[in-house]
Amino acid sequence: MRNTMILSGLATVALFGSGCTSTSTSTFDPSNPTVNTTRAIGAVSQAECFMAARAAAENAMSSPVFDRFLQNYRSEKNDPGAVPLMQVGYLKNNTNDPDLQINLVTDELCNALLNSGKVEVTLATGRDASQTFAEARKLQSDDNFKQKTVMKKDTLEAPRLSMEGAIISNVVKADKETVQVYSFNLKIADIQSGKVIWSYIKTFGTKKVKSSFGW
């Protein structure tokens, strides 16, 4: 009887204990900073990546320097509808976050610029270069394929523009506060001349305050 009571008590404790540690899963919009608030010093959130990309895209689409390049490019091509081809270059991660997915920024920015009609984007060169194009041309030596449908050499277009940049962070600690400021530095350069035709910097900051009880 005594053993039965002990086992019953342990089962009750286990039941209540499991109830106290229960978890739930919900969905949220990762691009909304008002709901994506979980932060860690030294890390960059997905929401901030999206915010930086959208702000950069708006700036690029309204940049008079970028517009001047487009005007000169179209005059050079003698085509009022000419659109320059852009590659995604190599962006440096100069933060303490080794897991930072910097392509979140460049992909969002490329998407906005591409849909605006200001640039076209290539996957033949740059950071996102695909082997698909070279492999497709190797089919010329494969008799299983209709040769008239195989892509020929000397058809790929080289990019005129390249997107470059970096994400840089700086952490300062004083008393019970830890402050991190980091910036998204993005540039688009004319490969022919090497000149930067657009540049944008977006900064964010996070602050961690330690309570007087050390929590």
* Per-residue model confidence as pLDDT tens digits over 101-125: 777 777 878 888 888 888 999 999 9
Query: What's the whole-number average pLDDT of the chain?
Result: 79
In this structure, the dihedral spanned by the alpha carbons of residues 113, 119, 124 and 129, taken in order and rounded to 10 degrees, is -20
The residues, ordered by sequence, that sit 6+ positions from 75 with a Cβ below 8 Å of its Cβ are none
What is residue 39's predicted lDDT score, i.e. its pLDDT?
55
Q: How many CB atoms lie within 10 A of CB 79?
A: 10
What does DSSP say about strands 85-94 and 161-174: parallel, antiparallel, or unpaired? Answer: parallel
* pLDDT above 80: residue 188: yes
What is residue 4's predicted lDDT score, i.e. its pLDDT?
54
The residues, ordered by sequence, that sit 6+ positions from 54 with a Cβ below 8 Å of its Cβ are 108, 112
What is residue 215's predicted lDDT score, i.e. its pLDDT?
47
Q: 158-179 pLDDT, tens per residue?
A: 999 999 888 887 877 777 787 7
Query: Which SS3 state, helix, strand or coil, does residue 65 take?
Result: helix
Q: How confident is the model at residue 95 (pLDDT cuts 50, 70, 90)?
A: confident
* pLDDT above 90: residue 83: yes
Q: How far is Cα 83 from Cα 96, in angstroms, rounded to an integer?
A: 38
Greater pLDDT, 47 or 82? 82
First to last CA, the chain: 45
Q: How far is Cα 24 from Cα 27, in angstroms, rounded to an integer?
A: 10
Asked if 188 contacts 60 with a C-beta cutoff of 8 angstroms, the reply is yes
Q: 17-74 pLDDT, tens per residue?
A: 555 555 655 554 555 555 545 555 556 667 777 778 788 888 888 899 999 999 999 9
Query: Which SS3 state, helix, strand or coil, does residue 39 take?
Result: coil
What is the pTM for the complete model shown? Answer: 0.72
Q: How confident is the model at residue 197 (pLDDT cuts 50, 70, 90)?
A: very high
